[in-house]
Amino acid sequence: MDQPASRKIIHIDMDAFYASVEQRDNSALRNKPIAVGGSSQRGVVAAASYEARKFGVRSAMASTVAIRKCPDLIFVKPRFDVYKYVSNEIRTIFAEYTPLIEPLSLDEAYLDVTDNLKNIASATQIAEEIRAKIHEKTQLTASAGVSYNKFLAKLASDFRKPNGLYVIKPSQGLAFVETLTVGQFHGIGRVTAAKLNQLGIFTGLDLRQQSEAFLKKHFGKVGSYYYTIARAIDERPVMPDRLRKSIGSENTFDHDLSTEAELLAGLQPELDSVWRLCERMQVVGRTVTLKVKFADFEQITRSRTTFGPISQKSFLDRIGTDLLTALFPVPKGVRLLGVSLSNLEASDESSGQQLVLPF
């Protein structure tokens, strides 16, 4: 397989974004281990400062585990309105260089600067300028990866974190990939990495030695993706209008719920939240998914897809409630309930505008 005409892709990833914003805005938190999230028995770490990461504290870790790893850990409540504001400041900087910006979340994005607004030939120079401007405007640091496709650019941005820049040239891509463990590949999680290991595939070189037919046999359609990235090939374009796949809301309760009344009352705020998001983003969807996590952390989901879009809140409420009541009586206490809506499309009120991810 041949790599298509070389592009210039930058992946920008803010360093410990939420935690860094908190340390910036509160000097008492600087150079201290902090976690953004809830400190309660059922709290979860949303982000950890680098001082906390030295103790093994990570995002999505239960707060009780984080405290055991770092007894001096300081918990800070998240301020998502502030993070969104700062994120928009950063995107304004990106837009000085290219309209081809694909946000992945509030703190990271791809940029295609092959043909950029400043006619700068070097993508590395653009990445350096962007990092400098981000620091000047926000007093925060960003890491950047520069390469000829998205897969390599994202790998590169992790290579010099924090506050670093790494470049993978077209002549270096294949050699770079073959030395990685499969667990380091973006898009390959722990379960898939374990399955690959069971098949005797441990590194990028091992993966490249497999046929596409072999990988599709064991991993389905995604096997073709593994086949190409093992060869340092990724033809995915930077998509500034990437459609959001779903919207959702969930809540971990202070105590386990078990009665029908408690569970229905616990579900309603999540249904309300999802509908508010629909109205704000001017979208409708066709698939409602209920997520239930029990006291012992067992998790189940139940979904229902409608023939047409769900255009009224009462319809969403009814489907969500039906999915939950079908589980009654629940076999054990419930610690978390969540609702998501997928198969999204623009609502009539959006005047045909396409849904884009907020940055």
**Whether 283 and 255 share a structural domain:** yes
**Whether 255 and 306 share a structural domain:** yes
- The answer to whether residue 129 is catalytic is no
Q: What is the CATH number of the domain that holds 177?
A: 1.10.150.20
241 in a structural domain: no
Which 3 state secondary structure label does DSSP give 303?
A: strand
185 in a structural domain: yes
158 in a structural domain: no
Whether the Cβ atoms of residue 9 and residue 102 lie closer than 8 Å to each other:
no
107 is in an annotated binding site: yes
Whether the CA torsion 236, 240, 244, 249 is positive or negative: it is positive
Q: Which band of pLDDT confidence, cut at 50, 70 and 90, is reported for residue 344?
A: confident
Q: What is the CATH number of the domain that holds 29?
A: 3.40.1170.60
Q: What's the pLDDT tens digit per position in 227-280?
A: 999 999 999 999 886 666 789 999 889 899 999 999 999 999 999 999 988 887
**What distance in Å separates the CA atoms of residue 313 and residue 282, rounded to the nearest whole number?**
13
296 is in an annotated binding site: no
218 in a structural domain: yes
Report strand pairing: 283-294 vs 345-346: antiparallel
Domain boundary pick from 203, 230, 257: 230
Residue 349: the pLDDT is: 52
Residue 135: the pLDDT is: 98
Domain count, the chain: 3
Whether the Cβ atoms of residue 251 and residue 266 lie closer than 8 Å to each other:
yes
Whether the CA torsion 217, 220, 224, 230 is positive or negative: it is negative
Hey, what amino acid is at 338?
Answer: G
88 in a structural domain: no
Domain span at residue 37 reads 17-78
Q: What's the pLDDT tens digit per position in 32-89?
A: 999 999 877 778 898 999 999 999 999 888 899 999 999 999 999 999 899 999 999 9
Kindly calculate the radius of gyration of the chain based on its CA atoms and give it in whole angstroms. Answer: 22
Q: What is the CATH number of the domain that holds 319?
A: 3.30.1490.100
Burial 8-45 (b: 16+ CB within 10 A, else e): bbbbbbbbbbbbbbbbeeeeebeeebbbbbbbeeebbb
**Whether 221 and 251 share a structural domain:** no
Q: What's the pLDDT tens digit per position in 332-343?
A: 999 999 999 998
pTM (two decimals): 0.75
Q: How many CB atoms lie within 10 A of CB 265?
A: 11
**Whether 262 and 338 share a structural domain:** yes
> In the beta sheet, which residues pair with residue 303?
289
**Whether 261 and 339 share a structural domain:** yes
Reference 111, options 158, 140, 135, 145; nearest CA is 145
Residue 351: the pLDDT is: 37
Domain boundary pick from 188, 206, 230: 230
2 in a structural domain: no
Residue 350: the pLDDT is: 45
Catalytic entry in 22, 51, 102, 108: 108
Residue 348: the pLDDT is: 64
Domain boundary pick from 60, 78, 96: 78
Residues 6+ apart with CB under 8 A from 153: 9, 10, 11, 110, 145, 146, 147, 168
**Whether 252 and 332 share a structural domain:** yes
Tokens of 12: 């920008």
